[in-house]
Structure 1
Amino acid sequence: MTASTVPPHDMSGGTNCESSAPPRDSVRARQPGGTGMLRRSVTHGEVIIRSGQRAEAAWRVARGHVVVRSDGPAGKASETLADAGDVIGAVAVLDGAHYDQTAEAHGEAVVEMLPREELVRLLTASPDTAGRMLGGLFSAVVSGDDVPDGRVPDGARLYGLEGTAAASIGADGIGIDGLSFVVGRKESVDDSGAARGVDLTLPDMRPYQLSRRHFAIERNLRGWLVRDCGSYHGTYVNGLLTGASKPSCTAPLLPGENEIVAGTPGSAFRFRVAVAG
């Protein structure tokens, strides 16, 4: 069983889908030091940049997620998820070329426009920012064979370690090839979870360990992670609690074997996630 990828965007989105120019509802946000930066709110599936367009500006993700799609060697497409702080389109802007990737919002998001002069200023002023921007960007558009220090994260596989999780998932596990795979509680016998964006639903009994949307396994520009989806008890990732009372709701998944416990430490909802090295 394999997770599906992000739903395709609506190609009838009008001029916003055909141009990276900001729409009328964009807001110019004032940054410290008086720098004007155009901030744009985008809805699910709205195109931010499109492959083949002239690269007039890069875009930084201020909030939410952005799907970045590109054609790799031999026509092999790659798809990654950019998080807050990631920058898309930077290499093409610096080269004065055309975009070689298409980026669109995955859910509601806010992005900030970075003209070439602003992009150069950020790269010059902050080496750490430059490393994050360009390191993650290269891994999103090419394979590891093309760039020595960057690579697109390979697939992950989810297994149940005991009880309901093991029985529902099966011995072969679930291959996760998309950008996000959500696990949550089954509300009824016929509940597939699709209506609330849950890929795998598991039955639970009171007092519940699982929340309706408990955790997600996600892929971004830097690799794989687990995101607690606001669950009541939180999610343990390799022994560390995320969500619940903790300020952090994400934890990285390391190459090799990882353990996830959904709920309290004694929860029977235990999983193993194998991540390619």
Structure 2
Amino acid sequence: MSDAVAEKLFAAGEVIYAQGEAGQGMLLVLSGTVEVSVATPEGPRVLARFGAGDFLGDMALITNQPRAATARALTAVTAEWIDDRSFEERLLEQPDRRASYLALLMQRIRITDSLLRLEWHKQEAAVQVTRAAYLEALPATASGRSDWLDLRLISAPGTPPPVIDVIIPQVPFSIGRLTFPLPVDALPTRRLSIPDKEPYQLCRDHCEIVRTAEGLVVRDVESRLGTNVNGVQVGRDFATTEAALKPGPNTLTLGGPESHYRFILELAEV
């Protein structure tokens, strides 16, 4: 391989790039796990973990700014290193890679947008913001109740990549398998598309989070294997197609009992 594109090996614990340094390339993780963290006054804060098939380090190339975070190999890592000279050729001009990268960018934009909204409302409210205060600061609807949520979808501990950590500010919100072309009937901020391999556990439109008169529910849409919500299996072949969410942590598994698509749905207790 050329210097522009090279396979690199990183030992467990090795810093791949550090917060504040110039961004001269990005990674496509081929094997292993990478942890990304940011320095705060209280110490390092872990932002995400990446595994095989994930891209990271690209934002420094796009923005031409120093690294915003530190990436460290949690395990031995093999990665394809792509520098700024080959970014377009190796990523944007290859359809499979471009599609995967666009899906990742949409997730990042969704999370960034939610964090920006939270910061804006902090400044507007000018109070010590708790989860309850955050909701109080959000715009109210005609009925006097905000349609905005404090709902977070996180990969359950021990599940393999891709690691999901998404703030869901509004419903309905759909979850399904990543397919191409990308669906045009749902806003990117209202949908999470997850890569899956055969034999598939996920359907294109697997389930959705909706508001009913009784509260928030997870509704199975068209999955073959069903959806498990807090231990209750729902779907077309089960007793019901939906299950209620409760304040606090909820468990969510997409697919059959052997599925590794397991999540925690945290609904703010207000």
Under a length normalisation based on structure 1, what TM-score does the superposition of the two structures give? 0.43
Under a length normalisation based on structure 2, what TM-score does the superposition of the two structures give? 0.44
